[in-house]
Amino acid sequence: MGGDGGTGDSGHVLIADAGGSYEVDLGSLFVLDGCASTFDSVYLCGLDLSQFSVAWMLGDQVIGTDIRLTNISTGAGTLFPSNSGYDVTLSVTWLGDSAISDNDSAVVNVGGAGGGPVPISEPATLLIFGTGLFAIGIIGWRRRRHRIRGPDGIGIVEGRRARL
């Protein structure tokens, strides 16, 4: 995490930090956060960024110019349309007396369909199936034990005459 760092003639040190790896569900929103980037050991999110140039890149395309990009969409019609890994680069430049630049890359892993069915493990499936069979057995057992009065008023249990 973090770029190699840029050091200018003025002795200032700039380190870009794109945040590492991002795990995102397809169809959901996510944030690209470069706030861990530092200039002279001070986080950029705590500084006035008017002296800095910031760019988030996906390939050759600039996708944002803030240190923190929020509400980035995934899915059809977006920059992150399918289940895949996407390499993004954060480029930070200090525009002071001697320009200093640093870059850092992160991977956005877009995975399964958000809001889709949750996979159930095999033991849980067997537990659910077994519970259903047990319930059906209890219902059948209660029906067999339940006494039903026939048309002649004699108690019967499942077609057999019962002793009253």
Residue type for position 100: I
The pLDDT value recorded for residue 132 is 92
Spell out the domains of the chain, with CATH numbers in brackets: 6-113 (2.60.40.10), 122-161 (no CATH)
Structure tokens at 24: 């995102």
pTM of the model: 0.62
For residue range 77-94, list pLDDT tens digits in order. 899 998 888 999 999 998
pLDDT in tens, 117-142: 556 667 878 888 899 999 999 988 78
**Contact between residue 103 and residue 89 where contact means Cβ atoms under 8 Å apart:** yes
Please state, rounded to an integer, the average pLDDT across all residues of the chain. 80
Is residue 85 classed as helix, strand or coil in its secondary structure?
strand
| pLDDT value at 164 more than 50 | no
* pLDDT at 60 > cutoff 70: yes
Least confidently predicted of 65-74, 81-90, 106-115: 106-115
In eight-state DSSP terms, residue 119 is P
Q: Residue 7, Cα to own-chain centre: how many angstroms?
A: 36
pLDDT over 70 percentage in the chain: 76
The mean per-residue pLDDT over the stretch 23-35 comes to: 89
